[in-house]
Chains A and B, each alone.
Chain A
Amino acid sequence: MIKTIILRTLYILFFLFSVFVTYHQLVVQRNYEVFTNPDGPDTSDYFITEEDI
């Protein structure tokens, strides 16, 4: 019983920590790649530089 409780508590902690890290990476750091179709239509105008803003 104690073993199960410890395991499930660890599980919940790992889950919460993982979600927090994901949030930090993707929402706070915006650490993801944006793909455009290299073989499709010209998408260079999809991007703007910080200077253009």
Chain B
Amino acid sequence: MKEIIDMSICEWSEAKFLFFSENIWGDFIYYSHLLPAISALIVTIFVYLNSPKNKSAQALLFTGVSFAIWCFMDLFLWSSEKIDWIMFTWSSLIYFQFFIYIGCLYFMYAFVEGKFPNFWTDVVIFLLTIPLFLFTHTKLNLTGFDFTNCWREAIEGPLWQPYIYNVGIFIGVWIFLYSIFHLKKAQTPKHRIEIIIVTIGIELFLIAFSLGNIIGSIETDWEIGQVGLFGMPVFLAFIGYTVVKYESFRLKVVAAEALFSATFMLLLSLLFVRSIDNARVIALGTIALFSVLGFLIVRSIKREIEQKEQIEKLAHKLERANTKLQQMDKLKSEFVSIASHQLRSPITAISGYASLLREGSYGEITNKMREPIERIEQSARMMAVSIEDYLNVSRIEAGNMKYNLTDFSLADQAEHISDDLRPEALKRGLVLLFRKRIESKGIVNADTGKVQQIIHNLINNAIKYTQKGAITVYVHENLDTKKIYVDFLDTGVGMNTETLHSIFQKFERGDKANTVNVTGTGLGLYVAQKMAEAMHGTITAHSEGEGQGSRFTLELPLVM
């Protein structure tokens, strides 16, 4: 006949909502369980949600959740009056104790290396768990239930003592040695300090958690075990410190949120402490623990506010500078408009009237008058060219230069312009030749006017810088690269290497400009180069040296 226990003689009260009953007589029980469990859950979930792909955050979440489950299960053991459920919960508790150790180990690996341990570490963990798989349900785990003097306690077997406690020590040593080994390999001093802080946090937690349980188990005084649970807030405080100080996990707000939530839980848990004296002790401990974290977080937030204020000041300065720039840009546009309409128009008029005078439209002119009139006409033309150069530079730099792209024959344009300028060359005693060697039609997609301006400019330069000899305009192509080239070869003054490097810069003129009495703004090549680039082409310059002549090449993409 099976004997069953008459539980009514113990006058155990019935647990409500799993965790609340008069069976819990220790003042610290709720405080020691709820604070670490909920603070662990809050912090680890926050950290995980902020960086879910971070391996450290994943391991921390696993540790936090395992620890919270452990705390709630333990709280249930303190509260429940149902022997079979106490036996089951206590038996299963061994797994979560093991998971906490493993979580700490994985967290350490992920924090240091940014990845989880390798396969063989997983195998070691698996092997360490085999005794749990095999014996958790047997008397090797819990020998039985101690009913003596109405105690509601299980008697722990060898699976707890010594196995799981030794596993805890083993993992603690493993983490310590791993940390020492990797401290030497840390790449930055910051990471080294992070490793030290996190290692101290983990070791303090493991020592407090394991030692509390080991002493509690040996002495069968489970109130001692409660103290060990405070290892978790200490661990979290160390993690919080690294988060705030070194911005690990790239979190900051998390620390403030977690602190607020944990403080809320502390105040809530104080409601369950029945003795006023104990409440004072708890309040003091709470103040000490969180004043340190609070100080760090407040300091961190202050820094952020200072940085934000600096950024705002800079943004304000930037805005003012931008406004000033816009005003200057407007002034520049106005200048361009003035230059365009108020300078160019009179110059055109001067040039036109001088031309009419020279041609005799206003009556016969004497030979004595002809020379100054011609000089007026020539100077006006040069000034018109200079103004056009300045206007072109303004347009290019403001991005206002407009290009009307059409398909046309570059070879034909080069030939026409060569024909137009041949009399000018002849006037200076120069021969201007045109050659072409192309198989295609030499069609390019570009702005006809701009290309004419470039060719005109390059031939004019060649004429200006050549005192005797010939100028050759040579059109050729490369069908493989789909490029067409116009070479402008002269037998003029040539250039040294230094001049070659700076010839396309603004206001740069050839070294011999003054000796050969060449006038110009030094903007022609700059404008020509910018125009060629805008049409996906380029202009290059070559010279064997001073007195060796020059070769300028206009390159544009062919339309096939």
| Residues of chain A having any CB pair with chain B under 8 Å | 3-4, 7-8, 10-11, 14-15, 17-19, 21-27, 30, 32-37, 40-41, 43, 45-51, 53
Contacts and interface: CB of A to CB of B under 8 A. Distances in A.
Contacts of B87: 26-27, 32
B144 A34 contact: yes
A14 B500 CA distance: 80
Interface of B: 1-6, 9, 83-85, 87-88, 91-92, 95, 119, 122-123, 125-126, 129, 132-133, 136-137, 139, 142-149, 155
Given A8-B122, A19-B95, A23-B88, 15 more contacts: A7-B126, A11-B125, A15-B129, A17-B133, A18-B133, A21-B136, A22-B92, A26-B91, A32-B87, A32-B142, A34-B83, A35-B144, A48-B3, A48-B4, A49-B3
A49 B1 contact: yes
Contacts of B129: 11, 14-15
Among B6, B83, B125, find the residue whose CB has the most chain A CB atoms closer than 10 A. B6
Given A26-B84, A26-B88, A40-B148, A47 B123 contact: no
Contact of A27 (B85, B139, B145, B146): B85
Contacts of A4: 119, 122
B135 to A, nearest CB: 9
B145 A33 contact: yes
A7 B5 CA distance: 43
A37 to B, nearest CB: 4
A37 B146 CA distance: 8
B5 A25 contact: no
B1 to A, nearest CB: 5
Contacts of A50: 1-2, 4
30 contacts: A3-B119, A4-B122, A7-B119, A7-B123, A8-B122, A11-B125, A11-B126, A14-B129, A14-B133, A18-B136, A21-B136, A21-B137, A22-B91, A22-B92, A27-B84, A27-B85, A32-B139, A32-B142, A33-B139, A33-B145, A34-B5, A34-B83, A35-B147, A40-B148, A40-B149, A46-B6, A47-B4, A49-B3, A50-B4, A53-B4
A34 to B, nearest CB: 5
A34 B136 contact: no
A3 B6 CA distance: 52
A43 B155 CA distance: 18
A35 B88 contact: no
A11 B121 CA distance: 14
Contacts of A11: 125-126, 129
Nearest to A37: B148
A53 B144 CA distance: 24
Contacts of A25: 137
Contacts of A8: 122
B148 A35 contact: yes
A26 to B, nearest CB: 4
Q: Give the 7 A-B residue pairs with the shortest CB-CB distance, closest first.
A: A33-B144, A37-B148, A22-B137, A26-B88, A48-B6, A26-B87, A47-B3
